[in-house]
A and B are shown apart, each in its own frame.
Chain A
Amino acid sequence: MDTLLSVENLTVKFRLRQGDLTAVDNVSFTLGRGERLGLVGESGAGKSVTGFSLINLISKPGFIDSGSIRFEDIEITRLSDTAMRKVRGEKISMIFQDPMMTLNPVLTIGTQMIETLRAHVGCSRRQAEAIALENIRKVHIPSPEKRLKQYPHEMSGGMRQRIVIAIALMASPGLIIADEPTTALDVTIQAEIMDLLLELCATEGVGLILITHDLAVVSQVTQRIAVMYAGRIVETGDTQQIVHRPKHPYTQGLLAALPQHSNRQNRLNQIPGVMPSLIKIPPGCSFHERCDLCQDLCREQIPQLNEKSSGAHVACHLAE
């Protein structure tokens, strides 16, 4: 599989009054063309920031401190604003969490779809409209012609997320970054949207980075997983390998917390403790404060991602 995206030693910081907050710390991963990667971890682990840094759209006062992001043959971190604009939406699209907030309330669906294509491709309104209609069909929304003239508030949350997916596909990107695309939706609709996303990425050959807390969803949709903790990737590898044979104590904890793994008395086996503040990450393994297996080495030395017997790469001194 040829490489679509390769991130190397990416570090993203936020310059705050109390000091620099390291939201993404020395993160590396790659993604093949048409491959689907799950980015999981608890709240505040740096998943969204990682996602946004791929299109250089980190909110203020965040900035890419060091590292490289290579998409096809483009070095994202060194692009001018104009060149970056051409990457966004054309090569890499993004899907946000809350479809109620993502679409502009005062512009029609048609306008918002067509402008996405016309920002990148020199084509007439008519041609863009034809592609918009085609994409609305692809996301299984009935009577597409009518939809073009509607406003977002005339649609349900599930519908809107379908439209957002259709917008993401407008310029036929190579990669879609979906940041918790179903979290804000009704439970009954979540699976539908996820299936749709999976179906489209597969048929269109689009790569997907799926950001989520939900390991169950990730195991159904993605081929590979990267588990993030306190800004670092602690375990990455084949999805089935990791879900069935997790090596990192944090991943093991996450999986044990899933409802089907919990026993009756203790329905949710939450990992005790909280994630350390990203302004002051403790030395050594960032997970050591919450780890049952913690040893002196863990408090002193940051573990590197190394290939383990399972084939996954794990950042833990003790995993074998």
Chain B
Amino acid sequence: MFAFIVRRIAQAVLVMLVISVIGFAIKSAVGDPVRDLVGIAVSVEERMALREELGLNDPLPVQWVRFVTNAVQGDLGHSYFFKKPALEVILKKAPATIELVLCSSLIIVLFSIPIGIFAAVKPNNFFSRLFMSLSIVGVSIPVFLTAIILIYIFAVELHWLPSYGRGDTVRIWGFWDTGLLTWDGLKHLVLPSISLSSIMLPLFIRLIRAEMKEVLETDYIKFAKAKGLKLSRIYLLHAFKNTLLPVITVGGVQLGTMIAFTVLTETVFQWQGMGFIFLEAVERSDTSLLVAYLVVVGFIFVLVNTVVDVIYGLVNPTVRITGRK
């Protein structure tokens, strides 16, 4: 298991290096660090001097090594618009996005597992058919449309829920602004997290159902029945634990995709998170901020996938054995 974890971490580092190359490429192609630092009202000679001083005339590989070294130390450049270190700007917005993704994931887990299992166990039941039809409709509606429909119904027509912003937040641990601890914050979270989960939820219901159905056909499930076990134990332990493996794998990847969808969701709901800032950075050609976003999101993505793989190893005994070698 230890060797397995080490190998996964090595892979993660490799992926981060690739991300750094992409980030660096964007930065050196379209970015202008001199402008980021001093703005545009500076003479050409001064600019040239500053370029030399910043090492912008060095060979690209040297610049890249410097970029990575700085990045590892938490320096991802300076935001032109905010006049602050880019990483600081991003991290300040991270809690909003993370809480949104967490809430959506929670919705996905809480609904996809029971519905998926039910639909696999009772495929001909009326509700199974209903959920399956709804899930097809669900995947085919774009997130922004779902968001707008939800806003129209619950905010505009019914006035039950707010349609934009995070509401009241509370600062915890000295740096984390959370909306999870106030009633107002929670209310603001409802519509955005439903919208964000609207693509993944149907996908996961279908995935769990398909995997579960396959598992239910296996000999070991028939054997479990022949042993006289209770159906609840057969479904929830014997079958579901085997269903979980492929679901975890796909889940890790989809979580990353969800971060991409936060850009859309946050924009529609004016949710002041990383995705919202990212889109603003694109509009303002704030290259450093944009690259910082890519690196931070890439890092989260890699981190999540590594953790998911380790969890997979814990659930799947065969992986543990290969890791032991």
Contact = CB atoms under 8 A, between A and B. Distances in A.
Nearest to B320: A151
Contacts of A105: 220, 242, 317-318
Contacts of B11: none
Interface string B196-231: 000000000000000000000011101111111110
| Interface residue SS majority, chain B | helix
Interface string A92-121: 011010100111111100000001100110
A154 B316 CA distance: 13
Nearest to A94: B226
A87 interface: yes
A101 B220 contact: yes
B321 interface: yes
Interface in B291-324: 315-318, 321
A167 B222 contact: no
Nearest to B225: A57
A57 B225 CA distance: 8
A122 B14 CA distance: 54
A88 interface: yes
B241 interface: yes
Contact of A106 (B226, B229, B233, B242): B242
Contacts of B321: 151, 153-154
A119 B229 contact: yes
A167 B224 CA distance: 11
B318 A101 contact: no
Nearest to A87: B228
A115 B219 contact: no
A31 B223 CA distance: 23
A290 interface: no
A145 B218 CA distance: 28
Contact of A57 (B220, B226, B241, B245): B226
A107 B226 CA distance: 17
A196 to B, nearest CB: 19
Interface residues of B, number: 23
B317 A103 contact: no
B187 interface: no
A88 B234 CA distance: 14
A106 B315 contact: yes
A180 interface: no
Nearest to B226: A94
A55 interface: yes
Contacts of B219: 96, 98, 101-102
B8 interface: no
A125 interface: no
A98 B224 CA distance: 14
Contacts of A93: 226-227
A90 interface: yes
A97 to B, nearest CB: 8
Interface in B225-255: 225-230, 233, 237-238, 241-242, 245
Given A104-B220, A105-B220, A115-B233, A88 B226 contact: yes
A147 interface: no
A181 interface: no
Given A102-B223, A153-B317, A107 B228 contact: no
A115 B318 contact: no
Given A106-B242, A164-B223, 6 more contacts: A89-B226, A93-B227, A98-B219, A104-B224, A154-B317, A171-B228
Interface of A: 55, 57, 59, 85-90, 93-94, 96, 98, 101-107, 115-116, 119-120, 151, 153-154, 164, 167, 171
